[in-house]
């Protein structure tokens, strides 16, 4: 995979409204994250890696699709860092690229379940495609 | 005509780099009334002061202008120097050409012009200055200490040691404070009771110390050296003088379901109670919220069993007034209610406790007699998780968290871990921390002992959720281990929350009464963070203990001693020199309107009826303003309010200030 | 009392019960929910980033309609509530988002700065109608039922914007449970995520989450868990039988307590039977590309 996404940490910070320097490394976000086990990089690492400018690694990781947007990390962060917003910003940077959609319409029939509420599809589309 | 000397300081390069000091000195020579001018490298140095003094003598100066730094820095220095050679100190004026000129400008030419202007204004003022003499007021040789914890007790004992009378006002029925509730103290692990109860006895036995327990200060008037405080002695319904502390009433009281605040509400007490065995004063108190006689008019058992006849259901709150020269604020702290952080399940499980509750569970005088058991089922916990920084180090918190570090939690948690392991070696203990902060003598060694000798697991990370499982009785703790980069799950028997420290809830009211300032977190602010750490900016008010900020016991005791030294330094004086720059009315111009009386923030102005001899030789009674020079702080509010221009401020008279303005506008 | 009402797409399809019983219960309590015309899907999830303007517009349109029609917009679906309330906050408090959004909406003659109020149906019950009135209107008290409230994430977080209740110690649903005559069951997992939309890609994650939630509710004595979110309902319902806990929409239980639910009535589409599988409009759009 190419390592150059042309996205800078500054852009991620700007569109997410997150300042990683506010983080005091307590780990409350990762302690509360329900998707922790599914992730390669965990919420606290998103914050630290954006601070260090390691955006490409995050963009290449499947972790960006594992966040459930439950906002527990936002609610419980003692420094108002809002890690979920960073994850969302990086995911957006990926799906906004040509061919960057994570979910293709062709995939849907296989994933579909007649009981599935519209809300699930809409949400997944909003999160995974552009 | 005044003979004025102008002395221009270089302040090294601080002034001289931006202001042409020689030009300022040269310009001074041309100002009418100036008979001498000079510039010098450091005017505040011995040699610089000698230059000022010698010139005053040799040139027979009547006034001095020093062009230098802020008057805050060295006005006193030069006034003392002038005074030592016989000049009235109030004939010295400072022109601030550093903070208000050289430090804030870049253009040398303009800065020099401004410095000359400031010099001219100061000379214009000195032209009109008159010698002032400050009055004095006597000092009341008695101190008031608000709060009877370890801080207040230590301050009181140290003040009494110097021979002054001290009153301690404590809102609880006993002195001793939070320290008396602790089990052991870090890092030496000596028993808190064993060191604090003798201190309490010492206070009680000291003839110079008087304890007002179960009392509150409700009003303070006056000023440094001359405060008058009103103390509310809450109705105890037990006569302190008659009660022998035998405890029979507490045994016979049928109302036994009162939450015991002494045990952090984990135990029960009776409605008539003595908080604990070593309480001082050792007298009973009836809790009017629970007493069956006071709430329903029934019972009356305590009154019947009391052989001393000390019970008095008719007791009322009493108010007494006392005069003091100095006041020590030692109002202490509380722990926040961690209920707002219910992801830790504090409101959901009795086995999630605060550190102070854990302290009581460890204490031999606690609700379990020192046997560490779970509040839910009375079983010994085998696995305990400690969570640090609950509500501390929070920014923009909507949960009422604190932005500061509570300072003592890292150490007391290490203490809890060590003590638990000492008594119950097979207990598994995990501490979740953000940082372990152990600056202090033998502190880090103590923490390392917990890890290396006792095998306490310290995990760098936080807890996100505690789920009480009612079937297994376990507390399912989910946390993050940032070193291993893993989410960890621990089935704990108990969870202990190091909840943030906050100022006592009574502190705000005390601050308002004393006009003592507080910071945004509600801690009392000191007059200078570095150089006057135990003084409040309000003269005569001193600070010690947690009221000023989170700190441990040795720091508190040290600070209490320092506050006491400051109080003693004040009380040994027979009289205090007043501010010489006080307001004074021209009684002939005063029309008796009372406007000045209304605006005076210090209550220094009163009105009197006075007989005046009129020009036509008749006598007339007129109502005129009087200023209490001991109380006046020289703020000038009255002078600008006075509609007839009768009120003026010595040292800053209207004509002096107008002369300065004129000089600047010339 | 008449309120503007935003049902949202799921309540028109898979979660018809949530909508139907909500309206009926409201009617029984003297409140009419007037569905706003031509509403559009809220998007399901709140766009957390500052530069996503277009996806906020449907919420703004709905809010603007409410502004001109009574001033208050009621939602029942947790997701719609979360999205619209947060967008409303953006429009009032975030100058950049508000300016950009208003630039888009100029062509529709809309200018909106957060003037309307967005409330969830639970807030309607608690703050507008009042639980005392609800309690008085209960005809079939749910005596003996032990009910746990499942809040999930969207009703409460982020609490500084949602302001419905204490995010860690909420009581709004528990108080309703008591008002309906049932016994409330407080359990720690009530505000932990069910796995949400992850269910589309990986069934095991929400299955695990739902089991943890239901087990915790059951261990605390709950026989039933109520929710306001169709997606939570879906994720929980899949595990409900295995865990032995009933999962129902809170409006259905309310309608039952108020005596406006016909017990023989076939549930519209709440359990997924009956209604045809509906294609999501966004999916359809993607397919035609």
Nearest CA in chain B to C215: B469
Count: domains in chain B: 5
C-alpha pair distances (Å), B197 with each of B194, B261, C164: 6, 19, 49
C-alpha pair distances (Å), C95 with each of B206, C101, C113: 66, 10, 9
Range of the domain at C111: 2-121
Long-range CB contact pairs, B602-609, < 8 A, 24+: B602/B223, B602/B631, B602/B632, B602/B633, B602/B635, B603/B221, B603/B631, B604/B628, B604/B629, B604/B631, B604/B632, B604/B633, B605/B638
Q: Give the architecture-level CATH label for domain A9-97.
A: Orthogonal Bundle (1.10)
Cβ contacts below 8 Å, chain A against chain B, sum to 66
**Burial (CB count within 10 angstroms: exposed 0-12, middle 13-18, buried 19+), residue B299:** middle
Scanning the structure block, which residue is given the tokens 């504090």? B346
Contact B342 C169 (CB under 8 A): yes
Same domain, B294 and B347: no
In percent, the amount of chain C with pLDDT more than 90 equals 89
CATH number at residue C203: 3.40.50.11810
CB atoms within 10 A of CB C108: 11
- The H-assigned helical ranges of B328-442 are 355-362, 409-423
| Per-residue confidence (pLDDT) for residue C269, from 0 to 100 | 41
Chains touching B (3+ CB pairs < 8 Å): A, C
DSSP 8-state assignment for residue B39: E
Same domain, C61 and C43: yes
In order, the DSSP letters of C196-260 are GGGGGT-SHHHHHHHHHHHHHHHHTT-SEEEES-HHHHHHHHHHHHHHT-EEEEHHHHHHHHHT-
Same domain, B372 and B435: yes
* Low pLDDT (below 50) residues in chain B: none
Same domain, B532 and B626: no
Q: Is residue B169 part of a domain?
A: yes
DSSP 8-state assignment for residue B398: S
Contact C188 B345 (CB under 8 A): yes
Cβ contacts below 8 Å, chain A against chain C, sum to 150
Torsion angle of alpha carbons B412, B427, B493, A75, nearest 10°? 50
Contact A111 C55 (CB under 8 A): no
Instruction: Give the residue from B12, B16, B7, B19 showing the smallest Cα distance to B66.
Output: B7
Written as six digits, the tokens of C201 are 């890609």
Same domain, C135 and C112: no
Our CA-based measurement puts residue B468 at a distance from the nearest CA of chain C, in whole angstroms, of 7
Contact C169 B339 (CB under 8 A): yes
Same domain, C65 and C150: no
CATH number at residue B224: 3.50.50.60
Q: Is residue C135 part of a domain?
A: yes
Same domain, B378 and B469: yes
Query: Is the CB of residue C145 less than 8 Å from the CB of residue C138?
Result: no
Same domain, B465 and B531: no
Our CA-based measurement puts residue C224 at a distance from the nearest CA of chain B, in whole angstroms, of 17
Q: Is residue B371 part of a domain?
A: yes
Instruction: Give the residue from B121, B367, B125 showing the smallest Cα distance to B259.
Output: B367
Instruction: Give the residue from A104, A70, B395, A98 showing the smallest Cα distance to C48.
Output: A70
Strands (E), B571-659: 575-577, 583-585, 605-613, 619-627, 647-649
Looking at residues C65-75, what average pLDDT do you find?
96
Q: Is residue C191 part of a domain?
A: yes
Contact C168 B341 (CB under 8 A): yes
C233 contacts in chain A (CB < 8 Å): 117
Same domain, C187 and C235: yes
Our CA-based measurement puts residue B344 at a distance from the nearest CA of chain A, in whole angstroms, of 11
SS3 category, C144: coil
Same domain, C156 and C229: yes
Q: Is residue C271 part of a domain?
A: no
Taking the Cβ of residue B489 and every Cβ of chain A, the question of whether any pair is shorter than 8 Å is answered with: no
Same domain, C212 and C151: yes
Our CA-based measurement puts residue B361 at a distance from the nearest CA of chain C, in whole angstroms, of 25
Residue to mutate among B348, B489, B497, with most C CBs inside 10 A, is B348
Contact C280 A125 (CB under 8 A): yes
Q: Is residue C283 part of a domain?
A: no
Contacts with B260 (C-beta within 8 Å, 6 or more apart), sequence order: B266, B267, B268, B269, B367
Query: Is the CB of residue C227 less than 8 Å from the CB of residue C176?
Result: no
Same domain, C25 and C77: yes
Q: Is residue B485 part of a domain?
A: yes
Same domain, C209 and C240: yes
* Per-residue pLDDT tens digits for B571-602: 999 999 888 999 999 999 999 999 999 998 77
Cβ contacts below 8 Å, chain B against chain C, sum to 29
Same domain, B553 and B589: no
Same domain, B469 and B538: no
Q: Is residue B659 part of a domain?
A: no
Range of the domain at B628: 583-650
**What ipTM is given for this predicted complex?**
0.94
Contact A125 C193 (CB under 8 A): no
Residue ranges covered by each domain of chain A:
9-97, 101-130
| Per-residue confidence (pLDDT) for residue B236, from 0 to 100 | 97
Q: Is residue C224 part of a domain?
A: yes
Same domain, C6 and C42: yes
Q: Is residue B198 part of a domain?
A: yes
Our CA-based measurement puts residue C52 at a distance from the nearest CA of chain B, in whole angstroms, of 26
**Surface of B (421-450) touching A: CB under 8 A:** 434
Same domain, B169 and B191: yes
Same domain, B161 and B300: no
| Per-residue confidence (pLDDT) for residue B601, from 0 to 100 | 78
pLDDT at C289 over 50: no
Q: Residue C89 is inside which H or E element, if any?
A: helix C78-93
Same domain, C170 and C241: yes
| Per-residue confidence (pLDDT) for residue A52, from 0 to 100 | 96
Q: Is residue B157 part of a domain?
A: yes
Looking at residues C265-274, what average pLDDT do you find?
45
Contact B471 C219 (CB under 8 A): yes
pLDDT at C288 over 50: no
pLDDT at C277 over 70: no
Give the β-pairing of B268-269 and B258-259. Answer: antiparallel
In order, the DSSP letters of B503-542 are E-TTHHHHHHHHT--B-TTSPBPPSBTTTBTTB-SSTTEE
Query: Is the CB of residue C155 less than 8 Å from the CB of residue C122?
Result: yes
Q: Is residue B240 part of a domain?
A: no
Taking the Cβ of residue C216 and every Cβ of chain B, the question of whether any pair is shorter than 8 Å is answered with: yes
Q: Is residue C264 part of a domain?
A: no
pLDDT at C17 over 70: yes
Smallest Cβ distance to B467: which of C160, C168, C188? C188
What CA–CA distance (Å, rounded) separates B433 from B393? 12
Long-range CB contact pairs, B46-51, < 8 A, 24+: B48/B7, B48/B9, B49/B77, B49/B78, B49/B81, B51/B7
Nearest CA in chain B to C216: B469
Query: Is the CB of residue B326 less than 8 Å from the CB of residue B492?
Result: no
Query: Is the CB of residue B147 less than 8 Å from the CB of residue B322?
Result: no
Instruction: Evaluate if pTM is beyond 0.90.
Output: no
**Residue of C177 and C266 predicted with greater confidence:** C177
Report residue B64 CA to chain centroid gap: 39
CATH number at residue C18: 1.20.1050.140
SS3 assignment for C32-64? EEEECCCCCCCCCCCCCCCCCCHHHHHHHHHHH
B471 contacts in chain C (CB < 8 Å): 219
Count: domains in chain C: 2
| Per-residue confidence (pLDDT) for residue C279, from 0 to 100 | 39
What CA–CA distance (Å, rounded) separates B28 from B23? 9
pLDDT-based confidence at residue C138 (cuts at 50, 70, 90): very high
Q: Is residue C263 part of a domain?
A: no
């Amino acid at each position: 995979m190419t390592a150059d996404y042309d996205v800078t940490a500054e852009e991620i910070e700007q569109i997410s409204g997150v300042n990683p320097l506010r983080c005091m490394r307590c780990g409350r976000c990762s302690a509360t994250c329900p998707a922790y086990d599914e992730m390669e990089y965990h919420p606290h690492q998103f914050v630290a890696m954006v601070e260090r400018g390691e955006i490409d690694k995050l963009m290449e990781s499947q972790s960006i699709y594992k966040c459930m947007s439950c906002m527990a990390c936002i609610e419980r962060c003692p420094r108002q860092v809002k890690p979920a917003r960073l994850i969302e910003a990086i995911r957006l940077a990926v799906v906004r690229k040509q061919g960057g959609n994570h979910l293709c319409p062709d995939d849907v029939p296989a994933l579909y379940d007649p009981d599935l509420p519209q809300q699930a599809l809409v949400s997944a589309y909003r999160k995974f495609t552009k | 005509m005044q003979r004025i000397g102008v002395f221009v300081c270089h302040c090294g390069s601080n002034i001289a780099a931006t202001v042409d000091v020689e030009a300022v000195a040269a310009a001074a020579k041309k100002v009418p009334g100036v008979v001498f001018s000079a510039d010098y490298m450091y005017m505040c140095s011995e040699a610089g002061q000698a230059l000022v003094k010698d010139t005053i003598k040799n040139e027979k100066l009547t006034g001095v202008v020093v062009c230098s730094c802020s008057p805050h820095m060295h006005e006193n220095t030069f006034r003392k120097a002038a005074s030592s050679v016989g000049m009235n100190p109030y004939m010295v004026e400072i022109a601030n050409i550093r903070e208000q000129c050289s430090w804030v400008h870049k253009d040398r030419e303009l800065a020099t012009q401004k410095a000359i202007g400031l010099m001219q204004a100061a000379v214009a003022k000195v032209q009109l200055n008159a010698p002032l003499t400050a009055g004095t007021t006597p000092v009341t040789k008695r101190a008031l200490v608000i709060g009877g914890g370890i801080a207040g007790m230590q301050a009181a004992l140290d003040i009494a040691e110097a021979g002054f009378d001290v009153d301690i006002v404590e809102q609880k029925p006993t002195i001793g404070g939070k320290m008396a509730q602790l089990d052991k103290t870090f890092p030496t692990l000596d028993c808190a009771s064993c060191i604090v109860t003798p201190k309490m006895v010492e206070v009680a036995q000291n003839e110079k110390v008087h304890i007002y327990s179960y009392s509150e200060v409700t009003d303070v008037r006056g000023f440094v050296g001359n405060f008058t405080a009103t103390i509310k002695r809450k109705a105890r319904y037990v006569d302190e003088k008659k009660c022998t502390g035998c405890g029979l009433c507490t045994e016979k009281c049928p109302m036994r379901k009162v939450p015991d605040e002494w045990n952090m509400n984990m135990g029960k007490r009776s409605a008539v109670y003595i908080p604990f065995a070593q309480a001082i004063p050792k007298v009973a108190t009836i809790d009017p919220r629970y007493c069956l006689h006071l709430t329903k008019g029934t019972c009356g058992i305590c009154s019947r069993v009391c052989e001393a006849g000390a019970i008095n259901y008719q007791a009322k709150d009493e108010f007494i007034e006392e005069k003091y020269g100095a006041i020590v604020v030692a109002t202490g702290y509380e722990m926040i209610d961690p209920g707002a952080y219910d992801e830790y399940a504090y409101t959901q499980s009795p086995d999630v406790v605060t550190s102070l509750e854990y302290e009581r569970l460890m204490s031999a005088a606690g609700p379990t007699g020192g046997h560490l058991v779970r509040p839910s089922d009375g079983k010994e916990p085998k696995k305990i998780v400690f969570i640090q920084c609950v509500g501390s180090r929070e920014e923009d918190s909507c949960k009422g968290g604190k932005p500061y570090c509570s300072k003592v939690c890292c150490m007391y948690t290490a203490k809890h871990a060590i003590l638990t392991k000492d008594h119950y070696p097979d207990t598994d203990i995990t501490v979740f921390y953000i940082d372990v902060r152990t600056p202090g003598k033998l502190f880090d060694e103590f923490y390392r002992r917990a890890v290396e000798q006792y095998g306490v697991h310290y995990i760098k990370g936080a807890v996100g959720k505690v789920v009480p499982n009612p079937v297994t009785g376990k507390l399912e703790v989910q946390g993050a281990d940032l070193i291993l980069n893993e989410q960890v799950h621990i089935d704990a028997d108990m969870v202990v929350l190091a909840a943030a420290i906050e100022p006592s809830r009574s502190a705000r009211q005390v601050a308002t009464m004393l006009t003592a300032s507080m910071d945004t977190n509600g801690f009392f602010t000191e007059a200078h963070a570095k150089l006057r750490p135990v003084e409040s900016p309000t003269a005569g008010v001193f600070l010690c203990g947690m009221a000023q900020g989170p700190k441990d016991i040795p720091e508190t005791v040290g600070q209490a001693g320092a506050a006491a030294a400051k109080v003693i330094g004040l009380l040994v004086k027979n009289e205090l020199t007043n501010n010489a720059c006080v307001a004074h009315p021209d009684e002939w111009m005063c029309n008796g309107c009372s406007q000045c009386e209304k605006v005076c923030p210090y209550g220094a102005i009163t009105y009197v009826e006075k007989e005046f001899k009129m020009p036509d030789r008749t006598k007339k009674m007129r109502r005129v303003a009087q200023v209490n020079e001991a109380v006046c702080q020289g703020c000038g509010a009255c002078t600008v309010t006075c509609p007839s221009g009768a009120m003026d401020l010595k040292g800053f008279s209207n004509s002096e200030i107008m002369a300065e303005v004129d000089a600047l506008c010339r | 009392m008449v309120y503007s009402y935003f049902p949202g797409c799921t309540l028109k399809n898979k979660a018809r019960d949530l909508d139907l019983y909500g309206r009926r219960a409201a009617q029984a309590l003297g409140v009419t929910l007037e569905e706003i015309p031509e509403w559009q899907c809220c998007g399901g999830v709140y766009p957390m980033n500052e530069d996503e303007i277009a996806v906020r517009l449907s919420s703004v349109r709905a809010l603007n309609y409410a502004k001109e029609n009574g001033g208050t917009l009621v939602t029942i679906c947790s997701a719609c509530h979360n999205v619209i309330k947060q967008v409303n906050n953006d429009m009032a408090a975030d100058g950049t988002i508000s300016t950009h959004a208003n630039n888009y909406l100029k062509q529709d003659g809309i200018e909106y700065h957060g003037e309307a109020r967005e409330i969830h149906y639970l807030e309607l019950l608690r703050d507008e109608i009042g639980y005392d009135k609800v309690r008085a209107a209960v005809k079939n008290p749910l005596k003996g039922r032990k009910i746990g409230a499942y809040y999930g994430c969207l009703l409460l977080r982020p609490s500084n914007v949602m302001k419905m209740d204490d995010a860690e110690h909420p009581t709004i649903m528990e108080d309703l449970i008591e008002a309906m005559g049932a016994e409330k069951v407080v359990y720690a997992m009530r505000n932990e995520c069910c796995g949400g939309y992850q269910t589309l890609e990986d069934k095991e994650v929400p299955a695990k989450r739902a089991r943890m939630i239901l087990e915790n509710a059951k261990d605390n004595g709950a026989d039933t868990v109520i929710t306001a979110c169709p997606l939570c309902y879906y994720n929980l319902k899949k595990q409900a039988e295995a865990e032995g806990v009933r999962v129902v929409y809170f409006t259905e239980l309310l309608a039952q307590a108020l005596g406006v639910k016909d017990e023989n009535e076939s549930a519209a589409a709440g359990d997924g039977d009956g209604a045809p599988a509906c294609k999501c409009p966004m999916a359809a759009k993607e397919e035609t590309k």
